[in-house]
Chains A and B, each alone.
Chain A
């Protein structure tokens, strides 16, 4: 059994899948930055940004609604922005009473809140599209090419590699517990099985400790395996990516569109 919960790559053959990962990373970051910088209530620009996103969706052959369906994971984080409803000065719209405080929603606050929602919603979708169309190792290569410090890319690469191994390990531990979580025959007669909460918490604690120990020992063995193949403290990687004409053209046009978005948003 394999633990694949973290793999977000969706295989398809499309223009977006074939693009160089660097182009995708740069455009995604530029797009997110652009959304952040657009002024509150720049609805036309936000609308254009949505069109841009939908166009990218269409080009990826994953379906127009692909990122939309997955975008709701970001909603809980948008709740953090709820406070701006009340904290921005402006025309009061409505006031409500909560326990012992009065909250007043202002028009400016509402505008800011809506803008933040739209911004994060659009940005998250573009990020989802990026990881859905780019294999994870390619993403790491893109970061390496873009001069992200190698210690960071190395940590991410190892994290990615061993997340699955650890995930499998957790599954095995849980299954081993499951297999022995029986009820005594007396349980049918009304005895409660499962043990006390404190006892179960202790078991869970032991499992976490067990997992840590196993990982710690594994890291030792992995390091030995690296040493055995000549590791000396500096990680060399080879990433055979090449930028083609089409990559340059796509990146340039995407960045121009994003620039236009900014201009439209500020008119």
Chain B
């Protein structure tokens, strides 16, 4: 299987010189669905922001689809890595659902017919076709989350990167989202605290703590080791 994403020895500090990433390395193969877990402040979100170049690192590199991320291929990489933020109110910034889902394709410079087509199919994929003309602020959190996923699906990304997709959802909305993630035929890296979600959906898990990858392997084996989980602020589901 081919590598679609490779991160090698990534280091990053914020302005306050607090090191957020201290040498992170991992690889994703095509079709992988991987969970990214770890306590708050472990560096998960920081890592995710690196994956399509919103933050750029001082040392180490990110390779997407065989191309090393640089300033020049940033637009191309952003089309390949779809990043969905935790708070859908940050992700959905346009007045209507249609405009939000069309934002990515429009910025890729696609012709209007194709933009329309992509919007339709992205909304169909998250089963929100009849929400096209709704205004984002009138939607429920679960609906907003699904629309937020559609806003990157419309860019036809190779990798979907989700930050806390199930946070704040009621059981039914969470179940709908889990089914949706299971059915999406796309490589996925999902940061979450929802260990039951991890157990159910992701064969592989990466555990981060204090800016480092402390485990990367079969979810089943990682979730077995209760002592290890407790050490890193996690809980057995």
Contact = CB atoms under 8 A, between A and B. Distances in A.
B178 to A, nearest CB: 23
Interface residues of A, number: 27
A186 interface: no
A236 B52 contact: no
B136 interface: yes
B126 interface: no
Given A161-B136, A161-B137, A228-B54, A238 B93 contact: no
B102 A158 contact: no
B152 A229 contact: yes
Interface of A is mostly: helix
Contact of A165 (B89, B102, B155): B89
Interface string B85-96: 101011111111
A230 interface: yes
Contact of B78 (A140, A162, A229): A229
Contact of B107 (A135, A164, A232): A232
B49 A137 contact: no
A2 B91 CA distance: 18
Candidate in A165, A229, A232 with the most chain B CB atoms within 10 angstroms = A229
B143 interface: no
A229 B151 contact: yes
B104 interface: yes
Contacts of B52: 228
A66 interface: no
Interface in B67-87: 75, 78-79, 82-83, 85, 87
A222 B152 CA distance: 14
Contact of B104 (A221, A222, A230, A237): A230
B115 A238 contact: yes
A2 B75 contact: no
A62 B9 CA distance: 64
A224 B75 contact: no
Interface of B is mostly: helix
A218 interface: yes
Interface string A208-223: 0000000000100110
B94 A161 contact: yes
Interface of A: 2, 135-137, 140, 157-158, 160-162, 164-165, 218, 221-222, 224-232, 236-238
Interface of B: 49, 52, 54, 75, 78-79, 82-83, 85, 87, 89-96, 99, 102-104, 106-108, 112, 115, 135-138, 151-152, 155
28 contacts: A157-B95, A158-B93, A160-B95, A161-B92, A161-B137, A164-B137, A165-B89, A218-B89, A218-B90, A222-B90, A224-B85, A224-B90, A225-B83, A225-B93, A226-B93, A226-B103, A227-B78, A228-B54, A228-B78, A228-B83, A228-B85, A228-B152, A229-B104, A230-B107, A232-B107, A236-B107, A237-B106, A238-B99
